[in-house]
Structure 1
Amino acid sequence: MLLSIFFISVSLFVYQVVLTRLYSAVLSYHYVFLTTSFAILGLGIGSIIAYMIRKKGRKPIVKLGKRKVAVNQEDMKGQLNKGSIILAASYIIVFSLNYLLPFVNNMLIYIVLGTIPFLIGGYVYSILFTEFSGISGKLYFADLVGSGVGSVAVIFLLNNAGMFRTVLILSIIALLPALILPVSAKKIKAIGYVLPLILVVGLILPVQYINSIEKNFNGILNNSKKTYGKLIKAGLSPEIVFSEWNAFSRTDVIKIPQKPEDMILTIDGAANAPMYEFDGDVESLKKFEADSGFLPFTIGRNDKTLLIGPGGGRDVLYALARGSKEISAVEINTSSIDAVKAFGEYNGNIYNRPEVKVYGEDGRSFVQRSRDKYDLIFLSLVMTNTSQGMAYALSENYIYTVEAMKDYLNHLSDNGKIAFLAHDEDDLSKIVATAMQALNEKGIPLKDTPDYIALYSQLIQQQHGGVAMHDPVIIIKNKPFTEDESKGLLETAKKNKIAPLYAPLVQEQGPLQQIKEAKISLKDYVNGFKSNVTPATDNRPYFYNFGKGVPATLILILMVVAIGSIIMFTPFAIKSGNFKPTMYFSLLGIGFMMIETPLIQKFILYLGHPTLAFTFVLAALLVGSGIGGYLSNSRLFNRVIGAFYLPSAMVAVISIILLLFLGFIFEGTSGLNLTGRIIVASILVMLQGFFMGMPFPRGLKLIGESKKNVIVPVMWGVNGVTSVIGSVLSVILSMTIGFTGALIAGAVIYLIVSFFKSL
């Protein structure tokens, strides 16, 4: 029975990440967060359905065909068997409908579709925990360990098997209970054995068929909001010639017959980078001299260049054109590297040239661990537009923080430079604010910081009048610009019809001139823009949040879920004896997520990649919680000392200790290899998770002892719904007071939970 719960939990967690990756290819990243957040509510809704059925005087049932079987302890194995079959089928249905249906501009459809497996899972779990509340610690252990294993398994599956095979394997995992649990019904037994065989046949389909299925995804091909659909709408004839799905993104290469000189490398169908045709002759690269992104390469030395986010390889061509002898290209999306290498004959095998070394990791983490100094660190339009698991922030945000800017400055050679190719005026203004704050924190007076910054942009005429920036470039030096440097750069820019926005000493204007003349402060600079250009920090790394205030998407999720919770649970909570357990499980749902989300973020830079942090930190937290849940009923840990339930209080204490010492631990162990850092991270997080896993099964046990087993499904529902609230609230708090503040808020919630001596 416990093994069956384990397999179902593995499959549900894998599904959660698969759904995020699936929807990232179809929707914009903030809508992905909204859609999957509401879909996860299915766990709570399934629990409520189980409770309502029991409330009407009937024990919960699982239907399959015409047969209906009441759930009790004797036939629980049969019910789990059927539930696993239905769950496996739902995974296939969700993927198939997403694959076959054209893009629909209606979030509700995607929410309902994504909710189906969660609803089934919540229904089955609530039944199990109701019937076996006496061993809730063991059930919780099997559940969380399964989720922890799932968090590792899904990364391995997506990176090595792709989307189609991962969905098939996910369904097979869900079917394992039907294979290991005996059942008398011949129909059920036949389905339990035949369905896995069909899925295995799907796994061994020829590679070309699987590639075709993954490539021809209707949600992308018929979506006018994604790159491919926009090209169709523009009257072009695009063709996807490469497609690869991994745990980080879906990466495509689009060929356009009308433009044979370049192809488009796109991530999740929206974040684009060009891949140019190149015959290997450096002399042929002079055509790039008119690009604004080429401008930083025209001043000073460029012998040693670091490129962060090279995408389709254009930045490498820039560096080669200016004679760079050592080029380090760091790309967070390994599928982008695969795509560039796959078209080596087209792009001149740029990643196999002796001058070029390619690294598949996070650029900021690479810089932190590097001991090298660079003449130029170049970041060009770095934005993947992809959602990472439970996080709302884009992974690239950590490369645009004040701390990141200081890291780059510390890794420049004498008279070296950092350069950013931005999207628009918002990007430029925020990067400038970040650079000024970083330079100021390094001891340079604010009024002197403009002498270190040069701004240029191509300008395009708009239809409604006026001009707009196109591909603006920001150049930041670790020494002030000399007059000769500024004049030379200005002359090169004007020659290539690139407009100067601010040229130190030779053409000073705008807000930077006012900063230099001490007429405005950095705060005045920030407040002078309609958009939010407040410098991002590692504690609040939301660079691409240009709205002033919390994004409307997050407010919408929070309001809908909160109002829905009040409507669903208030009548139940006000009944005699139900208020305390409802509050207890609500606080646990919110508190768990408000610690989990900041913890994952805290470890991203340490482990070097958001996917690694999501995988191993979450796995350690869940497994630690599972072990804690298993031991929750032991005398050693099931203690109330004075006014406190000890494990909950320990969560608060450990959270504060981590906040105080995590920086020192990271600094002291940063020299370890990746395996060593993963071990350190896992130990730290498992210790926290160990105590976080105890309050939930303890609550279920207290309910069972008070003869209130009937409300267990509702407590599951309360916990599931409020977990979504906690997830959203942690992001909102991290945007306003930072991840440290969000983690402290989570610790306070667990401290409040420790006062619940009984339910």
Structure 2
Amino acid sequence: MVDKDLRAGKNVYAGLFLISLATLTYEILLTRIFSVTMWYHFAFLSISIVMFGMTIGAILVYLMPGYFSQDKTEFHLGLSAFLCSITTVLSFLLYLLIPFVNSISVLAFVVLAFTYVLISIPFIFSGICVCLALTRFPAQVSKLYAIDLLGAGIGCMLLVYLLKLTDGPTAVIIVAFLTGLASILFLHREKAPGLFNSAIILVLILGIFSAGNSYLAGQQKPILRLIWVKGGITGLGLKRPIYEKWSSFSYISIRERQSLKPFGWGISEKYDKNEKVRQLILTIDGSASTPITNFDGDFSKLQYLKYDLTNLVYYLRPDASVLVLGAGGGRDVLSALSFGAKSVRAVEMNADIIKALNQRFGDFSGHLDRIPGVRFVNAEGRSYVASSKENFDIIQVSLIDTWAATAAGAFILSEHSLYTVEAWKDFLSHLSKQGILSFSYWYTPEKFPAVIYRMVSLANTSFQEMGVKNPREHIIIVRHIYKLHLSTFPEGVATILISRDPFSSQDIAKIKTLCEEMNFEMVLGPDFSLNPVFEAVASGKTLEQFPEFSLLNIKPTRDDSPFFFYALKFQNAFKPGIWKAIEKTSGVGPPLTIFILGALLIITLGLTFLFILVPLALTADKSSLRGSLWFFVFFIAIGFGFMLIEISQMQRLIIFLGHPTYGLSVVLFTILISSGIGSFLTGKLKDQMLKKYGVILLIILLILLIIFGFISPYLVRAFRSSETMLRIFIAGAMLFPVGIFMGMPFPLGIRIASQKSPSLTPWLWGINGAISVCASVIAVVIALNFSLSITFWIGFCFYSLCLLAFASAKQKPA
């Protein structure tokens, strides 16, 4: 039995705050670590792992009522926090030793499942802490739930500042340090002297190590560092990085390049000069590489840039004002300058890259930021263009998605703000009258070039919506095919040129001449098409006559469905032969990525069934479950509704705010803080008034969700060009009122259920957690195959079901 009069002391509030803060900090930190060690599309996996681990913790509390007796609650809170601290360190150290298997195989599935379980272990103990705090002090559940959400909300923002001070691996140790502090707060020395003293020793060790490794990381000599990155050992076959820097949205490393041969993916074979160029390779998140070129002011040493297909646009518009999106290591800036550009605006979202290029390695790179006419801007590319009052002769976006990431399908599950109709309309409207937008991407000749087709589709639709009658007159595609010894490298690059005005006959003649001189090949022009598919796509014709498009979708992506690199039609996902068809496709929908998504869905469903639903079913108290159907419907609906709305808005705001970390942090912070306020407010309701006011509050929530669903797309469009801080404020302001009312159903349901049967609450907690685990993956599947809006409105339907269940559930008289 639970003593309803047991009161939580200030130490419980403080400890719960720290546990929740550390849990959410680690959750977001894992998105960064997974992006580096595996791929970006594993970022959403951290949400599922956290929910799974914490739900297991709640189930253990339910299954072991004798062990987790109420009179020992504070001891078990302290012990769980202590074990959370230790397992955070141990599980992370073991994870560092596990290579990511980048293939479609049983081994890959096993490694993924093992990683899922391993990383979830500390969250099991975190879940025990939170469950004990929220179920052992029923009279204070609203306040405790508010503290839980407050800590979690602050944890969302803590990582942003934490990674300005230290590196990723050290941040994990700091998380363990915080949970160790929580253990000390929960415990009383006189009641558990051994555990209390052990916690103090643990905290001291973790604190000293964190400070030491953080200092060494600043000196580029950390003791604890990543070992396996993208399935390979860091430093194997390469020199160790000479510089590393973590931030809340990237990890960059810089190595010396061994070869003195100029680096470039589209350099013509006609380039026969024996130039030696010293270059450093800057790598982002372990895959995206960009060269930093040694430059002493002499452009005659950079002749290779004039033979690179990605720079074709400069032959058409010399003496241009240039906007480079994704400046990286400065290669495109040097390209523009070598062709005599009168001004270069280099936009780079990652401030650490700009600092590395122009400050730490400024003497090596030639301090590009000091060259007259060159200005670097720290901003997200699309947002900068939308807010700019200038027009440019050239906007260049060259291979910002690297071959390594493309080969693994790393961006298929990612939102991409640069590849939507809305984005391209922004780009085209910021070109001068004869300005040209230049995009470069991989083009493997033996494969179906779905990415290039989709780019053409984007251009065609964008022009049509801007009132252009014949978009094909504005599009030219040129490719360069070459052979490399390593089969894993792409064997072709294409550049798509999109002109605001129709290309002139002189432009077309110039391109044809350059193709002959440099052994490039024109794929599409106003008067030429390599194949009828390009002609049909560029002209906006139907594609039904082409069998390749029966399985794949190359319709232009929009902000509401921004998954540019995912082109599998949902109805074809399980058709025979689909995998063979996908294998023949370049860039869109590699089987590996679809395998990973399917594997994650199977793993989450399987583990949830095995470790959550089965134990609950086998140990259920039949008497407490009798007459509880509507309670189960209620908590199932909350689990689906909350996750579908949270993840859909997270993905929408990634586009709006310009980066995954911003979307994740702002959405989680706002929803958690506002939900905490909502939970706190429900504590003001008297028990006998819960049912009446609960129904009213849920109706208000549904009304707010309807308003939010209709006005949020409008507000996103209206403020897309605003400064980052204003966009963050708008995002928070949209979510905050909804979040307040989204935080109310759970504590209301727990209070009413505890009146019926106190032993029922962990059961309901477990069901809610199980659904949340599965919903975190299901939400991504829905968004990929349909849209963010549909994902949101399905979440709304679940909250409508929540209202029905709440109104139908019977409240025991107080």
Using structure 2 for the length normalisation, give the TM-score.
Answer: 0.83
Matched, 1:420 2:439: yes
The answer on whether the counterparts of 1:83 and 1:120 sit within 8 Å (CA) in structure 2 is yes
Residue 368 of structure 1, CA deviation: 1.2
Which has the larger displacement, 163-172 or 481-490?
A: 163-172
Matched, 1:85 2:82: yes
Q: Which runs of 5+ in 1 are unaligned?
A: 61-70
Q: Secondary structure at the match of 2:435?
A: strand
Match of 2:798 among 742, 749, 759: 749
Match of 2:346 among 318, 329, 352: 329
Q: Secondary structure at the match of 1:472?
A: strand
Structure-2 separation of matches of 1:392 and 1:633: 44
Residue 401 of structure 1, CA deviation: 0.6
The answer on whether the counterparts of 2:701 and 2:741 sit within 8 Å (CA) in structure 1 is yes
Match of 2:427 among 393, 403, 408: 408
Residue 320 of structure 1, CA deviation: 0.9
Corresponding residue for residue 483 of structure 1? 505
1:600-749 matched pairs, under 5 angstroms: 600-635=650-685, 645-666=695-716, 673-706=723-756, 708-749=757-798
Residue 300 of structure 1, CA deviation: 2.1
Which has the larger displacement, 530-539 or 501-510?
A: 501-510
Residue 177 of structure 1, CA deviation: 2.5
The answer on whether the counterparts of 1:301 and 1:375 sit within 8 Å (CA) in structure 2 is no
- Over 3 Å counting, the alpha-carbon distance change for 1:523 and 1:478 in structure 2 is farther
CA RMSD of aligned residues (A): 3.1
Structure-2 separation of matches of 1:544 and 1:302: 34
The answer on whether the counterparts of 1:654 and 1:688 sit within 8 Å (CA) in structure 2 is yes
Question: What code does the residue aligned with 1:459 have?
Answer: I
Residue 31 of structure 1, CA deviation: 4.5
Corresponding residue for residue 68 of structure 1? none
Structure-1 separation of matches of 2:293 and 2:785: 42
Corresponding residue for residue 581 of structure 1? 631
Corresponding residue for residue 162 of structure 2? 157
Listed one character per residue, the Cα deviations across residues 189-230 of structure 1 (whole Å, up to 9, x for unaligned) are 21232222222222332733563237852123xx6558x57x
Residue 522 of structure 1, CA deviation: 5.8
- Over 3 Å counting, the alpha-carbon distance change for 1:435 and 1:392 in structure 2 is closer
Matched, 1:190 2:197: yes
Match of 1:45 among 48, 56, 60: 56
Q: Secondary structure at the match of 1:324?
A: coil
Corresponding residue for residue 105 of structure 2? none
Question: What code does the residue aligned with 2:709 have?
Answer: L
The answer on whether the counterparts of 1:35 and 1:110 sit within 8 Å (CA) in structure 2 is no
Corresponding residue for residue 141 of structure 2? 136
The answer on whether the counterparts of 2:51 and 2:772 sit within 8 Å (CA) in structure 1 is no
Corresponding residue for residue 35 of structure 2? 24
- Over 3 Å counting, the alpha-carbon distance change for 1:680 and 1:461 in structure 2 is closer
Which has the larger displacement, 697-706 or 151-160?
A: 151-160
The answer on whether the counterparts of 1:502 and 1:510 sit within 8 Å (CA) in structure 2 is no
Residue 730 of structure 1, CA deviation: 2.0
Corresponding residue for residue 340 of structure 1? 357
- Over 3 Å counting, the alpha-carbon distance change for 1:268 and 1:670 in structure 2 is closer
Corresponding residue for residue 368 of structure 2? 350
Structure-2 separation of matches of 1:4 and 1:468: 52
Corresponding residue for residue 285 of structure 1? 302
Corresponding residue for residue 597 of structure 2? 554
Residue 319 of structure 1, CA deviation: 0.9
Which has the larger displacement, 151-160 or 324-333?
A: 324-333
Structure-2 separation of matches of 1:162 and 1:596: 28
- Over 3 Å counting, the alpha-carbon distance change for 1:668 and 1:20 in structure 2 is closer
Residue 609 of structure 1, CA deviation: 3.6
Structure-2 separation of matches of 1:516 and 1:103: 40
Structure-2 separation of matches of 1:140 and 1:499: 63
Match of 1:213 among 206, 222, 241: 222
Which has the larger displacement, 561-570 or 22-31?
A: 561-570
- Over 3 Å counting, the alpha-carbon distance change for 1:330 and 1:523 in structure 2 is farther
Listed one character per residue, the Cα deviations across residues 550-591 of structure 1 (whole Å, up to 9, x for unaligned) are 644334433443455456437368852343322221211111
The answer on whether the counterparts of 1:15 and 1:91 sit within 8 Å (CA) in structure 2 is no
Residue 635 of structure 1, CA deviation: 4.1
Residue 33 of structure 1, CA deviation: 4.2
Corresponding residue for residue 66 of structure 1? none
Corresponding residue for residue 450 of structure 1? 472
Question: What code does the residue aligned with 1:622 have?
Answer: L
Matched, 1:362 2:380: yes
Structure-2 separation of matches of 1:676 and 1:34: 29
The answer on whether the counterparts of 2:456 and 2:538 sit within 8 Å (CA) in structure 1 is no
The answer on whether the counterparts of 1:376 and 1:412 sit within 8 Å (CA) in structure 2 is yes
Residue 515 of structure 1, CA deviation: 5.6
1:103-502 matched pairs, under 5 angstroms: 106-181=111-186, 182-184=188-190, 185-205=192-212, 207-208=215-216, 211-213=220-222, 216-220=225-229, 224-225=231-232, 232=236, 236-259=237-260, 261-341=278-358, 342-383=360-401, 397-424=416-443, 425-445=449-469, 448-461=470-483, 470-502=492-524
Listed one character per residue, the Cα deviations across residues 522-544 of structure 1 (whole Å, up to 9, x for unaligned) are 66679548654222110000011
- Over 3 Å counting, the alpha-carbon distance change for 1:693 and 1:736 in structure 2 is same
- Over 3 Å counting, the alpha-carbon distance change for 1:599 and 1:464 in structure 2 is closer
Residue 301 of structure 1, CA deviation: 4.5
- Over 3 Å counting, the alpha-carbon distance change for 1:224 and 1:138 in structure 2 is closer
Structure-1 separation of matches of 2:657 and 2:569: 31
Match of 1:569 among 584, 588, 613: 613
The answer on whether the counterparts of 2:157 and 2:665 sit within 8 Å (CA) in structure 1 is yes
Residue 333 of structure 1, CA deviation: 2.8
Residue 669 of structure 1, CA deviation: 5.2
The answer on whether the counterparts of 1:237 and 1:258 sit within 8 Å (CA) in structure 2 is no
Structure-1 separation of matches of 2:706 and 2:782: 17
Structure-2 separation of matches of 1:80 and 1:525: 63
Q: Secondary structure at the match of 2:244?
A: strand
Structure-1 separation of matches of 2:545 and 2:223: 50
Residue 648 of structure 1, CA deviation: 2.6
Residue 11 of structure 1, CA deviation: 0.3
The answer on whether the counterparts of 1:364 and 1:398 sit within 8 Å (CA) in structure 2 is yes
Question: What code does the residue aligned with 2:751 have?
Answer: K
- Over 3 Å counting, the alpha-carbon distance change for 1:722 and 1:352 in structure 2 is farther
- Over 3 Å counting, the alpha-carbon distance change for 1:161 and 1:463 in structure 2 is closer
Structure-1 separation of matches of 2:691 and 2:47: 38
Which has the larger displacement, 599-608 or 493-502?
A: 599-608
Corresponding residue for residue 65 of structure 1? none
The answer on whether the counterparts of 1:456 and 1:474 sit within 8 Å (CA) in structure 2 is yes
Which has the larger displacement, 150-159 or 564-573?
A: 564-573
The alignment-based identity, stated in percent, is 26
Structure-1 separation of matches of 2:539 and 2:696: 59
Residue 266 of structure 1, CA deviation: 1.6
Listed one character per residue, the Cα deviations across residues 262-317 of structure 1 (whole Å, up to 9, x for unaligned) are 23222221222223232222232221111110101211255221111122221111
